[in-house]
């Protein structure tokens, strides 16, 4: 294990800390831009660094299917392959396999499915998931877990919790490369007893870090808030806590207040491509006619290059003519907005003013 984690200060349940890895330190709480296939869509690595990214997320299954983890290993590993010197966390592929629906079959051995690329048969076992992440050379590797729909019956979630624990132990036992840190994933759906059971079993295995998974897969918002908040307190205080796949700006503020340290979500990049831009005054749909002659910057409070250099009218024009420059400029902005929000949240934890940010986000980003 090459991970060190320190909590310097708390404000309520919120934590201000630092996660130290071989390739760099991460100030927490922090957001990981998603580059599932080895690239954050629309941005290169210098632009990511300029936006303030300290760690990025890639996906085990996507990179295994194409271009292949062994090929990336021959080319010097994922960091060299994509020109990113900082830490990388890789999801195990469990969520992607879950989303394949009729193409998959889950057994005790692993997840069997047909590749959506060429139809090749794949059996993603816990051992293979760790082998792939070792070949990629990442800093934080997620264990393979079994994910079920949020509205599935309790018995299905209980079965998934028990299998996730068995798979997590197999992941730990299969690791060969030193310096890679595995994070376990707590499952259990919207059931408190199952969440407590999952956390208890996984804590007994003593992983370097822990994640709360199985959210945003069909449960309602009220249940998400209740169970995600409850799960945070089940995770070890002295280790990093990662809330997977979350979320919207208000979700992030709330999750920080619950005591989570790391987050990821595709919303900043996906919404940028679709014309939805996050600002300090709420979300803007840039393609609307009202912006065709708008001379003002996208967000005067944002430090990104887009907001410093062009007006909304220009972004509106680029989107309407389908110029790829739009994706670049929009993505720079949305990623910067998210990372700048995390900076503000860290300051708020230090100063005890987290409620102020919550009230502002609640005003401009209501559910």
Please confirm, yes or no, whether 91 is among the known catalytic residues. yes
Please tell me the distance from the alpha carbon of residue 243 to that of residue 297, in angstroms, as a whole number.
33
Name the active-site residue from 91, 139, 261, 299: 91
Strands (E), 215-344: 241-243, 262-264, 276-279, 282-285
What DSSP character marks residue 26? E
| Residue 124, token pair as written in the block | 């993603």
Please state, in angstroms and rounded to a whole number, the distance separating the CA atoms of residues 327 and 274: 9
- DSSP code for 128: H
- The two three-digit tokens of residue 126, written as one number: 């816990």
**Which position has the token pair 């730990």?**
172
What is the four-CA torsion angle of 32, 38, 40, 46, rounded to 10 degrees? 90
Considering the candidates 251, 261, 264, 340, report the single residue annotated as catalytic.
264
- Residue 67: both structure tokens together: 């271009």
Let me know if 264 is a catalytic residue: yes
Q: Are 320 and 287 in contact (CB under 8 A)?
A: yes
- The structure tokens listed for 123 are 């059996």
Query: Tokens at residue 360, please?
Result: 């502002």
- How far apart, in whole angstroms, are the C-alpha atoms of residue 153 and residue 337? 38
Coil, strand, or helix at residue 202? helix
Q: How far is 217 from 244, CA to CA, in rounded Å?
A: 11
Q: How far apart are CA 194 and CA 219, in angstroms?
A: 15
Distance CA 249, CA 115 (A): 34
d(CA 11, CA 354): 8
Question: First vs last Cα of the chain: how many Å apart?
Answer: 40
- Residue 75 in tokens: 């080319």
Catalytically annotated residues: 91, 264
């Amino acid at each position: 294990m090459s991970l060190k984690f320190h909590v310097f200060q708390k404000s309520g349940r919120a934590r201000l800390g630092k996660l130290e890895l071989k390739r760099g330190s991460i100030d927490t709480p922090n957001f990981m831009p998603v580059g599932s296939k080895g690239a954050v869509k629309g941005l290169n690595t210098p632009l990511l660094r300029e936006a303030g990214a300290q760690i990025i997320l890639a996906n085990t299954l996507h990179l295994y299917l194409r271009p292949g983890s062994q090929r990336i290993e021959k080319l010097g590993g994922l960091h060299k392959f994509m020109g990113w010197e900082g830490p990388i966390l890789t999801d195990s592929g469990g969520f992607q396999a879950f989303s394949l629906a009729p193409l998959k079959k889950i057994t005790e051995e692993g997840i069997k499915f047909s590749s959506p690329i060429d139809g090749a048969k794949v059996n993603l076992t816990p051992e293979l998931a760790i082998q792939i992440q070792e070949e990629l050379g990442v800093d934080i590797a997620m264990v393979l877990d079994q994910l079920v729909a949020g509205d599935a019956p309790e018995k299905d979630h209980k079965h998934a919790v028990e299998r996730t624990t068995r798979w997590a132990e197999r992941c730990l036992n299969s690791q060969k490369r030193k310096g890679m840190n595995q994070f376990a994933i707590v499952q259990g759906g919207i059931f408190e007893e199952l969440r407590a059971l999952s956390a208890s079993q996984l804590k007994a295995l003593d992983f370097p870090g822990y994640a709360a998974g199985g959210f945003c897969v069909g449960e309602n918002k009220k249940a998400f808030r209740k169970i995600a908040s409850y799960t945070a307190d089940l995770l070890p205080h002295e280790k990093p806590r990662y809330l997977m796949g979350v979320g919207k700006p208000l979700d992030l503020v709330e999750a920080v207040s619950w005591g989570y340290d790391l987050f990821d979500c595709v919303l900043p990049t996906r919404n940028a491509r679709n014309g939805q831009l996050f600002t300090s005054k709420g979300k803007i749909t840039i393609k609307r006619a009202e912006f065709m002659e708008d001379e003002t910057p996208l967000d005067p409070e944002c430090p990104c290059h887009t907001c410093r250099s062009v007006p909304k009218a220009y972004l509106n024009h680029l989107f309407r003519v389908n110029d790829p420059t739009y994706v670049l400029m929009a993505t720079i902005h949305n990623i910067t907005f998210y990372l700048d929000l995390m900076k503000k949240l860290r300051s708020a934890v230090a100063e005890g003013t987290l409620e102020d940010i919550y009230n502002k986000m609640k005003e401009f980003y209501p559910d």
